[in-house]
Structure 1
Amino acid sequence: MRPISFVCCAARTHVFNTLRFETKMFRSARQPNRNFAGSRQFGTPSKKEVVSRINVLVLNAGVRSVKYGLFSIASRPAGHDWLQKDSFLLSSGFIDHVGDGDAPSIVTAHVLGRSTVSYTAPKRIKDSGAAFVEIVSLLTDPKQGPISSMKDIAVVGHRVVHGGPMSKAMVIDAKVMDQIRKSTGLAPLHNPANILGIEAAQRELGHAAHVAVFDTAFHQTMPPESYTYAIPKELVATHGIRKYGFHGNSYKFVLQEVADELGRRESELNAIICYLGKGSSMACIERGKCVDTSMGMTPLEGMVMDTRCGDIDPGILLYLSDTLGLSPPELDELLNKRSGIAGMCGLSDMRDVEKAAIAGNEDALLAEQVYVQRVREYLGSYLVRLNGEVDALVFTGGIGENSARIRQQICEGLQRFGISIDPQKNARDLSSDREISTAQSFSKVLVIRAHDELSIALQSVGAVAESLPLTGTVALQSAAQ
């Protein structure tokens, strides 16, 4: 059966198939099939139950790398919902060192059931737009590609870091693009790369529906006391100055996984989620809703990161501007690209920092300690916010998932707060059992791998469904026509 493509608004006069689905989409089953965790397949659908499948391409255009995932998403007749457990990854990959000086661009691609391909691009890939062109050739390669034509893709979901006031995934039109551009000043490292990726994808896949899925949307449930800055309110009203938060797609997916792990509804859960990676943040979840997060109006606020400073006394910026004559662009470059862990010890990868710290490098040890201390400060704040009633403390992100040393240091001495981890569980392979807490721990401590791409794919399908005002239904046209 060929994939099914969404009919875009401009093509509504075409003849539709009679197959229609109600727009109550993205009430998905919560549990990915862990038997396929290694290959990141999320389940095998029953042929008797599946009505149709569509291919959804997810594009995550970052600052120095571009990731992608091609998903096959299924629907069952009962409820006509797009189901997470019946969705699986056809292909995934990433292009590293995009626009990274003179460094050669490294392309890595994996097709389900086949070997991983990795090679150095013949020419340096200058930006996320050029990276998308390379992705197109990978997906349609006669020998390695999972699809024969880009027309087999119905929907493209784009991760967009900052969406300003956008509170959910949106089908991209002129107004949505305008809002993304307006938000560029709030995410100067990320949004420009996101925009280039969107523009390139729209050129190459003009037939597909394109959806922006915002990192900031998950945090729109924060109350005013959490997102308000103590500056003149007229500035807030005029310029939209407030805390927005980021990594929302990861938090959304991880919260679903926590609910499933504990056998609870999301609306019942209090959780503290630590997304620890190159960019690090934390989220405080009360009754299934985000009530606070560490990143702010921009991804610069909060914890220490690889090259970002995190929380800093604003007076330091005034001092540097006055004494060194640094301009706003120079301050931006200093705080976003030359600070953080790299600024303290010259290393930006936490794996390298840990090795250096263990070997006795004092700068690396201090950087590690500062990083951990900042996490613990936010952890303490959120424990108080939740009155000590925390169902789960969760680690995710590259560092959170892979560094037992960092997890151990963060949780050191928290037994009196109801948080205790088992050193042996913490050090083992966590692919099958994600709990690292002791039997005596009041709060479950979990390590959960985030699948941002699947979350983006499902949200994208739901957004397309909602955008087509066909009396509560979505008409679909077969790609075979």
Structure 2
Amino acid sequence: MTRATAVTSSLPLILVLNSGSSSLKFAVYAVGERQAWLTGLAERLGEPEARITVKDGTGKASRSLPEGSHAAALDAVLADLAGRGWLDALTAVGHRVVHGGERFARSVLVTPEVIADIEACSALAPLHNPPAVLGIRVALERLSTVPHVVVPDTAFHQTMAPSAYLYALPMALYRDHGVRRYGFHGTSHRFVAGEAVRLLGLDPADHGLVVAHLGNGASATAVRDGRSVDTSMGMTPLEGLVMGTRAGDVDAGALRYIAERTGMDWARLDRMLNRESGLLGLSGLSNDCRELEAAAGEGHEGARVALEVFAHRLARYIGGLAMSLHRLDAVVFTGGIGENSALVRRMTVERLRPLGVRLDQAANAATVGGASGRISAGPDAPAVLVVPTNEEWMIAQDTAVLAGLDVPETLPAAAE
């Protein structure tokens, strides 16, 4: 009997929730297993076309949600678990929260004070934190007898020193308004860094890595001895690398010039920077790296330029972040692009020759589609790795630890 078709579960189960303004992403993990038993997405919440899709080991199924609210979506998830005989095994719930500000340096159990702290950070992430709080409140109503845990994306980066997180602005802006660099994708960077240490046999207390999480959103982080010491994203997820539709670094003076020349107000500039720039804006074609690679291969100049700028900016950041380390043991690629685009990896690593990095072309070409492994040549140079990320499992791990569950020693107790 497979886990997908099992009628009951004798293992403790963790439900992982990621609430967006119009969506609810979810996954179910058994304590001690890395592969999710169930994943899914409720989308277009608040609209007549609201739907929920559930995927298990046998396939996926979708259906409409007539009452397309977050509560209705969670009720549908719980009904699915009940139908599989898993509801009684549900032992804890983990919640992804985008922005924890300076209030969270680690994952924590949900309390009224924690919810208030997340709400207090909403000014820093007005599109993300309010729906996260809504999802937490709904889950607490439906699942009031089990512990709930919040895992903020920013928490991993709270180990950065002031020299890394401060902007060169008047200090009153930091003291009075929290204007500083926070960093994001922390759960992914933490998981991937730990996997890289394991795969390379590095000392967990003595290593230096640069992890590049590359997807529609992209960031790179310097990890020293398991701690984030610098990262590319800033106060918001807009700073840093070129992304799918986000511009990344732009001279603030250029924005003033654009506003004066075009008449754009701040709302219009914000839309341009976050939704119309990046790979999409450079190429004039798409924000999908797969489409751009295909188009560039057929001679599309905009697609070629977009990929060149993406790789140049990434390599420049990797080199800069390496200077925050005591040494560079490895560069690690993850995320949808990092795990699957051999071309982007090759274009980036070719620009890292001053760091002594060399690419194994055959290994690079073969490492796609969820594969992990070393793609660098030469035993004495920094390694280059591909490591598929697993943010949901990392959230499940933190949740299991904080809920007091027996986490197997073979799996890292990430919240400790």
TM-score, normalising length from structure 1?
Answer: 0.75
Question: Counterpart of 1:61?
Answer: 19
Question: Counterpart of 1:184?
Answer: 122
Does residue 116 (structure 1) correspond to residue 59 (structure 2)? The answer is yes
After superposition, the Cα gap between the structure-2 partners of 1:123 and 1:87, relative to the gap in structure 1 and judged at 3 Å, is: closer
Does structure 1 retain, via aligned residues, the 8 Å contact 2:154–2:184? Answer: yes
Partner amino acid, structure 1, of 2:91:
A
Q: Which runs of 5+ in 2 are unaligned?
A: 5-9, 406-416
Once the two structures are superposed, what CA deviation does each residue of 1:104-145 show, in whole Å capped at 9, x if it has no partner? 7461411xxx401233x32588565554333223333x3xx3
Partner amino acid, structure 1, of 2:79:
S
After superposition, the Cα gap between the structure-2 partners of 1:133 and 1:330, relative to the gap in structure 1 and judged at 3 Å, is: farther
Structure possessing the higher radius of gyration over alpha carbons: 1
Q: Distance in 2 between matches of 1:335 and 1:100?
A: 27
Measured after TM superposition, the shift of residue 269 of structure 1 is 0.8
Does residue 318 (structure 1) correspond to residue 256 (structure 2)? The answer is yes
Q: Which runs of 5+ in 1 are unaligned?
A: 1-38, 41-51, 74-85, 467-481
Question: Counterpart of 1:155?
Answer: 92
Q: Distance in 1 between matches of 2:241 and 2:34?
A: 34
After superposition, the Cα gap between the structure-2 partners of 1:395 and 1:164, relative to the gap in structure 1 and judged at 3 Å, is: same
Q: Distance in 1 between matches of 2:343 and 2:403?
A: 43
Does structure 1 retain, via aligned residues, the 8 Å contact 2:48–2:68? Answer: no
* Corresponding residue SS for 2:53: strand
Does structure 2 retain, via aligned residues, the 8 Å contact 1:223–1:291? Answer: yes
Percent of matched pairs sharing the same residue: 36
Measured after TM superposition, the shift of residue 440 of structure 1 is 4.6
Counterpart among 387, 408, 416 of residue 448 in structure 1: 387
Does structure 2 retain, via aligned residues, the 8 Å contact 1:277–1:400? Answer: yes
Does residue 380 (structure 1) correspond to residue 309 (structure 2)? The answer is no
Measured after TM superposition, the shift of residue 195 of structure 1 is 2.5
After superposition, the Cα gap between the structure-2 partners of 1:265 and 1:131, relative to the gap in structure 1 and judged at 3 Å, is: farther
Q: Distance in 1 between matches of 2:335 and 2:21?
A: 17
Once the two structures are superposed, what CA deviation does each residue of 1:294-314 show, in whole Å capped at 9, x if it has no partner? 001111111111121111111
Does structure 2 retain, via aligned residues, the 8 Å contact 1:98–1:131? Answer: no
Does structure 1 retain, via aligned residues, the 8 Å contact 2:340–2:367? Answer: no
After superposition, the Cα gap between the structure-2 partners of 1:418 and 1:348, relative to the gap in structure 1 and judged at 3 Å, is: same
Q: Distance in 2 between matches of 1:247 and 1:280?
A: 8
After superposition, the Cα gap between the structure-2 partners of 1:55 and 1:104, relative to the gap in structure 1 and judged at 3 Å, is: closer
* Corresponding residue SS for 1:206: coil
**Structure with more relative contact order (C-alpha pairs < 8 Å, separation 6 or more):** 1
Does residue 93 (structure 1) correspond to residue 93 (structure 2)? The answer is no
Question: Counterpart of 2:7?
Answer: none
Larger CA deviation: 243-252 vs 282-291:
282-291
Q: Distance in 2 between matches of 1:287 and 1:335?
A: 34
1:282-361 to 2 correspondences below 5 Å: 282-344=220-282, 345-361=284-300
Partner amino acid, structure 2, of 1:57:
L
Does residue 401 (structure 1) correspond to residue 344 (structure 2)? The answer is no
After superposition, the Cα gap between the structure-2 partners of 1:66 and 1:60, relative to the gap in structure 1 and judged at 3 Å, is: same
* Corresponding residue SS for 1:266: coil
1:360-379 to 2 correspondences below 5 Å: 360-379=299-318
Once the two structures are superposed, what CA deviation does each residue of 1:279-301 show, in whole Å capped at 9, x if it has no partner? 10000112332110000111111
TM-score, normalising length from structure 2?
Answer: 0.86
Q: Distance in 2 between matches of 1:366 and 1:170?
A: 44
Does residue 132 (structure 1) correspond to residue 74 (structure 2)? The answer is yes
Partner amino acid, structure 2, of 1:92:
L
After superposition, the Cα gap between the structure-2 partners of 1:152 and 1:440, relative to the gap in structure 1 and judged at 3 Å, is: closer
RMSD: 2.8
Question: Counterpart of 1:270?
Answer: 208
Question: Counterpart of 2:408?
Answer: none
Counterpart among 118, 134, 137 of residue 199 in structure 1: 137
* Corresponding residue SS for 1:316: helix
Measured after TM superposition, the shift of residue 399 of structure 1 is 0.7
